Amino acid sequence: MVMTMNDETKQAVLNFTVRLGDDAVVMGHRVAEWCRNAPFLEEDLALSNVALDFIGRARMFYGYAAELANDGRKEDDFAYMRDHREYQNLLIMELPRGDFAYTMVRQLLVDVFNLYYLEQLMKSTDEMLAAIAAKSIKETRYHLRRSQEWVLRLGLGTEESKSRAQKALDDIWGFTHELFDLDELEQQMAGAGIGVDNGSLKESWSLKVKAILLEASLTVPEDGWKVKGGREGYHTEYLGQMLNEMQCVHRANPGLEW
């Protein structure tokens, strides 16, 4: 596949792959922030392991991007040497981790999305993207099993856990619409059988998410406000701060490996 791509397609696949890497690394970093901050030891381990899966996923996407770019850049250059305007992750990934309920509600919404998204990406005509998706979906199923259980426990737990989970849901909901938007590049990739038609995933996503929320006795927010812009590089103020922390060691010591 890679050998026969023309330059224009190659560039498009490269850009598309970098976005998927951005989604994974940003989400991974947010979840990793719980390392040594989680409510108890087992949860600390679990969150760190989930974070590692996302970071590993980012490495696979960036590694493939580096291969496509073939200009000397390595996976680290994609993660550490690009500014927030160059990052094209979906906004939901970059939202600060908040409290534990916020982290778990976001995790659920993202996990369900990833489940359906990766299922489609596994069918990509690009063999490498299909292979990364096949690898990642197994991990996502595990993540979802956990985030689903936690949201149930929070929703059906105490008054406080329920109100925190509901608040998180209300605060995050407006960021979920962006998951199903396709810009020009995504349309092109979906059309070519390389990417995924996100829009077509919305129904399955809504059904599954709503069923879980119902079971957790949480109220599905109404579709009111929407925020988008991540794919164009327009981010919340939080991404810049996060990247600052994530990138500072590498930028102070360029090319450092350990």
Partner 1 sequence: MSQIPPLVAAVYSERLTRRNESVLTEIWDLLDQVKDPEIPVLSIWDLGVLTQVEMQQENLLISITPTYSGCPAMDTIRDDISSLLVEGGYQNFSIKLVLSPVWSTDLMSPEGKANLQQYGIAPPVSNASCNSDECLKISCPHCGSLNTKTLSQFGSTACKALYQCQDCNEPFDYFKNF
Interacting residues with partner 1 (CB under 8 A): 28, 42-43, 45-46, 49-57, 59-60, 127-128, 130-132, 134-136, 138-139, 142, 145-146
Q: Nearest-CA neighbor of 124 among 66, 179, 191, 202?
A: 191
Lookup: tokens for 48: 């760190």
Select 147 or 176, whichever has its Cβ closest to partner 1: 147
Nearer to partner 1, 46 or 218 (CB): 46
Q: Which is nearer to partner 1, 61 or 116 (CB)?
A: 61
The distance of closest approach from Cβ of residue 25 to partner 1 in the complex, given in angstroms and rounded to an integer, is 11
**Nearest distance, CB of residue 135 and partner 1, angstroms:** 5
Closest distance to partner 1 from the beta carbon of 208 (Å): 17
Q: What is the dihedral of CA 223, 19, 131, 47, to 10 degrees?
A: -70
Q: CB of 49: closest distance to partner 1 in angstroms? A: 4
Q: Which is nearer to partner 1, 147 or 198 (CB)?
A: 147
* DSSP track, 239-258: HHHHHHHHHHHHHHSTT---
Q: Supply the minimum distance, in Å, between the C-beta of residue 93 and partner 1.
A: 16
CA-only gyration radius of the chain, Å = 18
Are 25 and 79 contacting, i.e. CB atoms less than 8 angstroms apart?
Answer: yes
Calculate the alpha carbon distances from 200 to 38, 183, 222, 226 in Å: 36, 14, 20, 19
Nearer to partner 1, 135 or 167 (CB): 135
Measured CA to CA, the distance from residue 250 to residue 55 in angstroms comes to: 16
